[in-house]
Amino acid sequence: MPDIPPPARQVWPDLSLVYAPERVLFQRDNTLITGTEFLAAAHRLAMQLPDQPVMNLCRELRGFTVLFAATLLRGQYVILTGNRTSDGLATLAASHRAVCVAIDGDPESAGLPHGAITLPDPFGRGVQPRDSGDAPFNPVIGADTQVAIVFTSGSTGEPVGHAKSWGGLVTRGVARRALLDPDPEPACLVGTVPPYHLYGFEAVVIQCLATRVTAMTGPGRYPADWRHQLRQTPTPGILVTTPLQLGSLVRSGLALPPIRRVVSASAPLDTEQAMAAETVLATEVTEIYGTTETGSVATRRTLDGPRWELCEGVALAIDARGATVTAPGMAAQLLPDVVERDGERGLRLMGRIGDLVKFGGKRASMAGLNAALLGIEGVRDGVFLRPESNIREAATRMRVFALAPGCSAESILEALRARVEPAFLPRRVRLVAALPRNAMGKLTLGAVRDLAAQNDGMEDIGTFSMSATHPCLAGHFPDQPVVPGVMLLEAGLTRLRNAGFGTVRRIGTAKFLRPVLPGESVTFFAGWMDHGLRLTGRCGDKLVLRAVLQAGEDDDAR
């Protein structure tokens, strides 16, 4: 890795579990929870936890944070993952000898994996108030104490866990005050992001525990929920969100109270989206650049341009192997992005490492292709999917999925032709009702591949029906007309070519499995196999044609 000078002896901020416990940590409508009340609840909860790591499954901010604090009081750490499948959670918990825990009444307390436990809400009705007298113990946690293992989203492959220490999390939280607590009066944070993702964990949970801010709590999945929380803040709130959620808020048309600032992360915002948000919300839009490996690295106001300013305490070094950052409480980490310096404390993001795709002697970045798709008028969401490496054939193309109400697949493909090199054009655009984004708005590679695998990886390439008056039917067969197999196959081959699958060089096998009668509609499907192209035809749910073909690219598509 690049050589980075060793840092001076680290001076840590206040490493108490709760900074200034006399202040208000959480607010929900008119209910205020002070740090002292929070600590008492965390101690009650800690007595109910087993002596093992905790997979914190809470979605609601207050419940998540008190369970996190209770875990630390128990001398354990939490495991955080965006995976919400019961099998995935159970497997991950078993691999760390952890227990899955939720708080009763949490939005995600239903459908828990086998062996999970649900604990009573320590702030709920019927809970005995703290006895007056000595304040609950507020431990100072060692700087090197591991408090969490946070897993990546899996957007580029299998999720990977990264350990986080208390000292590093708190120090970087204090360094974020200029962004998240910029005014003389303490800030109020409204977070739309799940606390089990590192962004939400750092920017809301740790910020609330380790600095003077107050966090708003309550239902938080929809724009109306966020508006309700923003209306409750005593001063204009700071909205901590993602590009996907910000877009939904802007499009909602809701009348919103004053917002001090928008902070976005998880994916870069484009200038048009930031401009629309600043216009509609009447506030500035800022961003955090970071990774699960590193946490927060840099910030910017989107409309100020592509330059990012390194966060306080973060050091950057670049050499031929890539860009490496260090920060308090964190060993040197290689960034997953191509980075260029911009001044002493600035950087520019040039693209994702491994983002490059090469077809037909041409190169492009997946980010650039996706940006071209999302830049088409009417496309609300969309993604390119590159072929899996183990099935790359000469005629294999990119696949494109788009959410575009009111647009046709053909119009989107036509718009792509003006923006994208022919080598990267898909054969067709597949319109979908929604893309399988997770709670952070990310598209994991596995989820997109699952989407592509629907219909067994076969694409609908068109329909065919023969009129009862077609002249070939007179002799095929007299008094019992049946569509000739050769004409059925020819219709399928024509639709193959029209769909961009290339020219068929050879027919390997062709089987006609059921007679097709005049007037019946046949829908053709096509998909690539390891060693050829599969063509099928269906009448309703009946398979009538199955063929294996050898095809190649059209000359003008190379």
Q: What is the pLDDT of residues 70-122, one digit of tens each?
A: 999 999 999 999 888 888 889 899 999 999 999 999 888 777 888 899 999 99
Whether the per-residue pLDDT at 187 is higher than 50: the answer is yes
- Average pLDDT rounded to a whole number, residues 449-468: 79
pLDDT 10s digits, 219-256: 888 999 999 999 999 999 999 999 989 999 999 999 99
User: Which range is least confidently modeled, 5-9, 474-478, 504-508?
Assistant: 5-9
Reduced DSSP (H G I as helix, E B as strand, rest coil) percent helix, strand, coil of the chain, to 5: 30, 30, 45
Whether the per-residue pLDDT at 141 is higher than 70: the answer is yes
The torsion defined by the Cα of 234, 194, 366 and 431, in degrees rounded to 10, comes to -100
- Tell me the pTM: 0.74
- Average pLDDT rounded to a whole number, residues 184-208: 95
Provide the token pair at 295: 């946490």
Query: For residues 252 and 238, what is the distance between their CA atoms, to the nearest angstrom?
Result: 19
pLDDT of residue 391: 39
pLDDT of residue 62: 96
- Average pLDDT rounded to a whole number, residues 313-325: 91
pLDDT of residue 558: 35
57 vs 542, which has greater pLDDT?
Answer: 57
pLDDT of residue 112: 85
Whether the per-residue pLDDT at 129 is higher than 70: the answer is no
232-252 in b/e form (b: 16+ CB < 10 A) is: bbeebbbbbbbbbbbbbbbee
pLDDT of residue 390: 39
Whether the per-residue pLDDT at 319 is higher than 80: the answer is yes
Whether the per-residue pLDDT at 516 is higher than 80: the answer is yes
Average pLDDT along the chain: 87
Please give the share of the chain, as a percent, with pLDDT higher than 90.
Answer: 56
pLDDT band at 388 (very low <50, low <70, confident <90, very high): low
Q: Which residues, 6 or more positions from 67, have their beta carbon under 8 angstroms from its beta carbon?
A: 45, 54, 56, 58, 78, 101, 103, 119
User: Which range is least confidently modeled, 104-113, 306-315, 484-493?
Assistant: 104-113
pLDDT band at 389 (very low <50, low <70, confident <90, very high): low
Angle separating helix axes 243-252 and 271-281, nearest 10 degrees: 40
pLDDT band at 387 (very low <50, low <70, confident <90, very high): confident
pLDDT of residue 398: 86
Pairing of the two strands 117-119 and 99-103? parallel
pLDDT of residue 75: 97
CB atoms within 10 A of CB 450: 11
Whether the per-residue pLDDT at 13 is higher than 70: the answer is yes
Whether the per-residue pLDDT at 458 is higher than 80: the answer is no
Whether the per-residue pLDDT at 262 is higher than 90: the answer is yes
Provide the token pair at 495: 């639709």
